[in-house]
Structure 1
Amino acid sequence: MTPIERAWYRGARWLTLLSPLEALYRHVVKRRREAYRSGRREVWQPPVPVVVVGNLSVGGTGKSPLVAWLVRWLEDNGWRPGIVSRGYGGKADTYPLSVSAETPVAQSGDEPLMLAQQTGVPVAVDPDRSQAARRLLEWSHCDILIADDGLQHYALGRALELVVIDGARGFGNRHCLPRGPLREPLQRLTEVDAMIGNGGLGSLSDTDAEGVPRFTMTLSPTAWRHLKSGVRHPVEPTPFALDAPVAALVGIGHPQRFFNTLDALQIPHHEYAFGDHHRFSAADLPVGPTTVVMTAKDAVKCLDFVDDRCWVLDVEAVPEAAFIDWWRARVDEWKLRSH
């Protein structure tokens, strides 16, 4: 976590010095939102439903595991989903980029490649998500699109907006950038279709977005995967020795979540936290025989230099039953309209 991120979540008083910049940021955000609402900026509405899974704050909240869960549910229920993403951290020669399990991570970015590997559905990346959606519909037979992030990408029309909230960190000091972690004011929550708290909703007050459905989800470890061989093992007992602390390498938005998971599994570890979307190299691996554990998002960036010490903890989203019922009702509505 960077110094300013620590300040956001600890409520540092010196952040009040950034109030003028926050006011300017909020003004720009408001003007931009109004431009799309008024028609001064074009919104492309795809011929299929688009579900945006996003967040209101900077940093990781658990969006990508929920995207993977939605995709699997849709496939199990007869849909042909595809995923669109900005591809943060990647740089392709041309866009839109079609992402497969073999696409170089330097081109696709870590999250799109991870989702392509986990789900096997068509994935398209473009800084202009509406362009990614257009091409995905040309390339494939998708009848529904899931946008990984993109809550603020108003050029892409959407049928549903899901906001994922970090149950532990919440919205920090509840101020917008750069005074706080919010990309948009909290009032934006009143416009979304549902809020999903990853690990609970204790960070929300009763008056936050009254009337908007609230649900919870958890991230559940499913397997240890040997990164070099791809062989999967049960979470318990661990497939590696625990006679010494393992090295936990993390480059995600909220690394403490991974460390807390290791604590819950009673795995002693040394913490090595890097910035979100960190480009790992062999120099980041600890010297010696230490076992190395990491997230699936980080693992896709380490395939070219890993050794036999490296393990991945795969996790999946587990939404509460009430969300599944709510989600099924929304999807059934789209199915009725299409016939």
Structure 2
Amino acid sequence: MSRIEQSWQTRDWFARLLWPISLVYGLLLRLRRLAYERGLIKRHDSRLPVIVVGNLSVGGTGKTPLCATLVERFQRAGWRPAIVSRGYGGTRHEQAYLLNAEDTAATAGDEPVMLYRQTGVPVCVCVNRAAAVEYLAEHTDANLIFSDDGLQHLAMARTADIMVFDGIRGLGNGWLLPAGPLRESAQQIASADLVAIQLPFTGNGNEVVGNLHQSLRQGDVGNVLQASSQQCFQLVPAELLNLVSGHSLTLDSLRGQRVHAVAGIGNPQRFFNSLEAAGLLVEPHPLPDHHEFTLADVSFSDDMPVLVTAKDAVKLTGLTDLPHSVHEVRTRVNLSVELAAAIDNLEQSLRE
């Protein structure tokens, strides 16, 4: 964790030094939102309902795996969903670009490629998400759009906002960037149609456990979240897939063994903790989010298994001479009863 990320969890001298800049940033955010609300900047409406799955804070919250789960859940309810994304980390697409089976993280971004492979639904990337929504409406049979991230993309009209939080880090010190981790004021939580809180995996995949960060309980924000405090989910490591042979094995088969864990995601420690909770002895190798992998990142002098996230696996499959020791950790998303009910209520409201 970098020095600035450490300060985001407290209000130490470093965060206080940056606080005046946060005030300016907050003022600009309010003026921008007001411009959209007053019609001074045009918002692009969509003929299809759009559900945004995003987060207020910088860093990983589990929104992309949750987005994939929402797609599957709405499919079972009879919807034909599609996904839009900015495509961060891939080729910058000024025009809407529909993913195909040949796309890689380099051409479309790691998260869109992962979502495309996991869900099989149309995925469209564009720096202008509203243009991607319009493209899907015109060129596919989708009748519902999920936006992976995009809470701050105000040009894109939306039917519902789903805000995802990390239950451990919460809102950090509660301050806006750069003094804190927030991309928007915490008061925006009140406008969310659904709140989902990711709690840590502790080895029991049948229960949602853990405690919310104290910042989620403070002041008006705590009051807003009180009704949603049980709307939780976990990312549970389920099985391993060898990226060279394609063979799968259970995570339990490595219980008690030492492994290399490599993660280039928003919160690598969450991945390491989940493996340790599953009984593995982890040698952690954290990398920056959206890291561009090379063979050196997953090549080690010993013969210990190398475990990577699903998001990182889409970048590794394109490398030649990949070590046979590299495995993707496939996860399942466990929803609390309360979160599942809230999702079902949202689906029903869209249907009505």
TM-score, length-normalised on structure 2?
0.90
Structure 1, residues 183-217: CA drift from partner, whole Å, max 9, x if none?
01111111111211100562211631635641111
User: How far apart in 1 are the matches of 2:36 and 2:93?
Assistant: 29
The alpha carbon displacement at 1:10 in A equals: 4.1
Map of 1:307 onto structure 2: 323
The answer to whether structure 1 residue 202 and structure 2 residue 212 are counterparts is: yes
> Where does residue 343 of structure 2 map in the other structure?
327
CA contact (8 A) 1:248 1:269 kept: yes
Contact 1:291 1:310 in 2 (8 A): yes
Residues of 2 paired with 1:93 and 1:327: CA distance? 31
Percent identity over the alignment?
Answer: 37
Structure 1 residue 271: Cα displacement: 0.9
Residue 80 to residue 7, structure 1, CA distance change in 2 (3 Å): same
Alignment of 1:104 with 2:116, yes or no, is no
Q: Which amino acid aligns with 2:127?
A: P
CA deviations 1:67-112 (Å, max 9, x no partner) are 0110001111111000000111111465211123430211211100
In the TM superposition, residue 286 of structure 1 has moved relative to its aligned partner by 3.0
Match of 1:296 in 2: 310
Q: Distance in 1 between matches of 2:222 and 2:45?
A: 26
Note the aligned Cα RMSD (angstroms).
Answer: 1.7
Question: Structure 2: where are the runs of 5+ without partners?
Answer: 200-209
- Partner residue of 1:224? 240
Name the SS of the counterpart of 1:107 in structure 2: helix
Closer/same/farther in 2, CA of residues 154 and 292 from structure 1, 3 Å limit: same
Matched, 1:119 2:119: yes
1:1-339 matches, within 5 Å, as 1-92=1-92, 95-199=95-199, 202-203=212-213, 204-205=216-217, 207-208=220-221, 210-211=223-224, 213-214=227-228, 215-238=231-254, 243=257, 245-288=258-301, 289-305=303-319, 306-336=322-352
The separation in 2 between residues aligned to 1:270 and 1:279, in whole angstroms, is 20
Taking structure 1 as the reference length, the TM-score comes to 0.93
The answer as to whether partners of 1:217 and 1:318 remain within 8 angstroms in 2 is: yes
SS of alignment partner, residue 236 of structure 1: helix
Other structure's SS at 2:71 match: helix
SS at match of 2:253: coil
Q: How many residues align?
A: 333
**C-alpha displacement at 1:291, in angstroms?**
1.7
Measure, in 2, the Cα distance between the counterparts of 1:179 and 1:25: 10
Which stretch shows the higher mean deviation, 287-296 or 147-156? Answer: 287-296
Q: Report Cα offsets for 1:122-179 as digits up to 9, x if no partner.
A: 0000111101111111221000011100011111111111111001111111100001
Q: Secondary structure at the match of 2:57?
A: coil
Residue type of the alignment partner of 1:299: A
For residues 101 and 285 of structure 2, the distance between their equivalents in structure 1, rounded to whole angstroms, comes to 27
Relative to structure 1, the CA distance from residue 94 to residue 186 in structure 2 (aligned partners, 3 Å threshold; closer, same or farther) is closer
Query: Gaps spanning 5+ residues in structure 1: where?
Result: none
Residues 104 and 110 of structure 2 are in contact (CA less than 8 Å); yes or no, is this contact kept in structure 1? no
**Match of 2:202?**
none
**3-state SS of 1:20 partner:** helix
CA contact (8 A) 1:100 1:117 kept: no
How far, CA to CA, are the matches of 1:159 and 1:108 in structure 2?
26
Q: CA deviation at 1:14?
A: 2.1
The answer (yes or no) to whether the contact 1:50–1:146 under 8 Å persists in 2 is yes
Which amino acid is the alignment partner of residue 163 of structure 1?
Answer: M
